[in-house]
Structure 1
Amino acid sequence: MLENENLESRIVKSDYKILIVDDVMSNVLLLKILLTNEKYQVCTANCGNMCIEQAKAEKPDLILLDVMMPDISGFDAAQILKKDPETAHIPIIFLTALNNPSDLVHGFQVGANDFLTKPFNKEELVVRVFHQIKLVAATRIIEHQNEELRATISNRDKMYSVIAHDLRSPMASIRMVLNLVVNAMSPDIIGPELFELLDKANRESEDVHDLLDNLLKWTKSQTGRLNVVRQDLDLNDIIPGVVDIFEMIAQTKKIDLKYQGSSNPVVVYADNDMLKTVVRNFLSNAIKFSPENSSIEITLSEEGDFAKVSVRDHGVGIAPDRIDSIFKKGETTYGTGGEEGSGLGLQLCADFARKIDGDVMVESTLGEGSTFSVLVPLKK
Structure 2
Amino acid sequence: MEFGDTFESKINRSDYKILIVDDVVSNVLLLKILLTNEKFQVCTASNGNTCIEQAKKEHPDLILLDVMMPDISGFDTAVILKKDPETLDIPIIFLTALNNPSDLVHGFQVGANDFLTKPFNKEELVMRVMHQISLVAAKRIIVQQNEELKRTISNRDKMYSVIAHDLRSPMASIRMVLNLAVNVVSPETVGEEIFGLLDKANRESEETHDLLDNLLKWTKSQTGRLNVVYQDIDLDDIVPGVVDIFRMIAEMKKIVLQYIPSEEKLVVHADNDMIKTIIRNFMSNAVKFTPEGKSIEVFCKREGDFAKISVRDHGVGIAPDRLETIFHKGETTYGTGGEEGSGLGLQLCQDFARKNGGDAMVESVLGEGSTFSVLIPLKKEE
Normalised by the size of structure 2, how large is the TM-score? 0.94
**Which residue is equivalent to 1:344?**
344
Shift in CA distance, 28/334, structure 1 to aligned 2, threshold 3 Å: same
**Which residue is equivalent to 1:41?**
41
Q: How far apart are residue 193 of structure 1 and its match?
A: 0.9
**Which residue is equivalent to 2:15?**
15
Give SS of 1:87's match: coil
Shift in CA distance, 64/269, structure 1 to aligned 2, threshold 3 Å: same
Give SS of 1:275's match: helix
Q: How far apart are residue 66 of structure 1 and its match?
A: 0.8
**Which residue is equivalent to 2:62?**
62
Q: How far, CA to CA, are the matches of 2:197 and 2:162 in structure 1?
A: 30
**Which residue is equivalent to 1:83?**
83
**Which residue is equivalent to 1:160?**
160
**Which residue is equivalent to 2:228?**
228
**Which residue is equivalent to 2:310?**
310
CA deviation map 1:32-77 (0-9, x unaligned)? 2222222211111111111111101100011011111121111011
Normalised by the size of structure 1, how large is the TM-score? 0.95
RMSD of aligned residue pairs (Cα, Å):
1.7
Q: Which runs of 5+ in 2 are unaligned?
A: none
Paired residues of 2:171 and 2:209 also in contact (CA < 8 A): yes
**Which residue is equivalent to 1:24?**
24
**Which residue is equivalent to 2:259?**
259
Q: How far, CA to CA, are the matches of 1:104 and 1:324 in structure 2?
A: 50
Q: How far, CA to CA, are the matches of 2:365 and 2:39 in structure 1?
A: 71
Q: Which runs of 5+ in 1 are unaligned?
A: none
Q: How far apart are residue 87 of structure 1 and its match?
A: 0.8
**Which residue is equivalent to 1:53?**
53
Q: How far apart are residue 316 of structure 1 and its match?
A: 2.3
Paired residues of 2:8 and 2:130 also in contact (CA < 8 A): no
The one-letter amino acid paired with 2:74 is G
Give SS of 2:285's match: helix
Q: How far, CA to CA, are the matches of 1:94 and 1:362 in structure 2?
A: 59
Determine whether 1:298 maps to 2:277.
no
Q: How far, CA to CA, are the matches of 2:67 and 2:363 in structure 1?
A: 69
Determine whether 1:97 maps to 2:102.
no
**Which residue is equivalent to 2:361?**
361
The 5-angstrom pairing of residues 237-276 of structure 1 reads: 237-262=237-262, 264-276=264-276
The one-letter amino acid paired with 2:130 is F
Q: How far apart are residue 16 of structure 1 and its match?
A: 1.1
Q: How far apart are residue 264 of structure 1 and its match?
A: 4.3
**Which residue is equivalent to 1:323?**
323
CA deviation map 1:298-346 (0-9, x unaligned)? 2122122111112122322223333333223222221121111111111
Q: How far apart are residue 205 of structure 1 and its match?
A: 1.0
Q: How far, CA to CA, are the matches of 2:364 and 2:135 in structure 1?
A: 53
Q: How far apart are residue 235 of structure 1 and its match?
A: 0.9
Q: How far, CA to CA, are the matches of 2:95 and 2:375 in structure 1?
A: 64
CA deviation map 1:205-234 (0-9, x unaligned)? 111111111122222222322212222111
Shift in CA distance, 359/130, structure 1 to aligned 2, threshold 3 Å: closer
Q: How far, CA to CA, are the matches of 2:4 and 2:376 in structure 1?
A: 53
Shift in CA distance, 187/176, structure 1 to aligned 2, threshold 3 Å: same
Q: Which moved more, 1:350-359 or 1:217-226?
A: 217-226
Q: How far, CA to CA, are the matches of 1:371 and 1:38 in structure 2?
A: 67
Paired residues of 1:278 and 1:352 also in contact (CA < 8 A): yes
Determine whether 1:120 maps to 2:120.
yes
